[in-house]
Amino acid sequence: MSSSSSISSSSRSHKSDVFLSYHDKDASLTQAGFVVYINHNNLTSGDQTNFSAIEASRTSIIIFSSNFDASKWFLEELEQILECGRTIGQVILPVFYVVDPSDVRRQIGDFGKDFEDLIGQRILTNNESMRYKEALIEASSISGFLVMSS
């Protein structure tokens, strides 16, 4: 997330009920009647379209799984979601899908392996690594749902 981005906290109209931060489309939300923004266009990292969609949603659902943090893009999305929670009061709902919240918090186990790979491959700078670790700690400290079977 760019430090120069700003989010207006003025009266807002929401374009979607839910922004879903996950690799695959969750059809059950749309079947339940929610308008869900899902990145159908495989937008690239830093694309402002996804950030705008996050800001325009009432709620962001973050699905943490063993491969959530395999991408720098998802970590950038996570930072934006947390920023919206802090600045505009967006509801953030973490779902821990077959992953322990403490593994997310400490970046260990299967969840932490991909994060360490990003660091080892020098895909993340030291500054990004620290920011994303802080974001993972913050997000995994929010009360959410734990789903331990697929």
Could you tell me the CATH number of the domain that includes residue 32?
Answer: 3.40.50.10140
Per this entry, what is the length of the chain? Answer: 150
In a domain, 76, yes or no: yes
Task: Specify whether the CB–CB gap between 81 and 60 falls below 8 A.
Answer: yes
In a domain, 7, yes or no: no
pLDDT of the chain along its 150 residues, tens only?
444 344 444 445 666 667 766 554 445 555 656 666 555 555 454 555 578 888 888 999 888 877 665 678 888 889 999 999 999 999 999 988 888 999 999 999 888 887 888 888 878 888 999 999 999 999 999 999 998 875
In a domain, 129, yes or no: yes
Range of 35's domain? 16-147
In a domain, 99, yes or no: yes
Name the phi and psi angles at 93, rounded to 5.
-125, 105
- To the query of whether residue 76 is one of the catalytic residues in this protein, the response is no
User: Is the model's pTM score more than 0.85?
Assistant: no
Q: How far are the Cα atoms of 1, 57, 76, 98 from residue 50, in angstroms, in the given order?
A: 11, 11, 10, 26
In a domain, 49, yes or no: yes
- Active-site residue, from 55, 76, 77, 83: 77
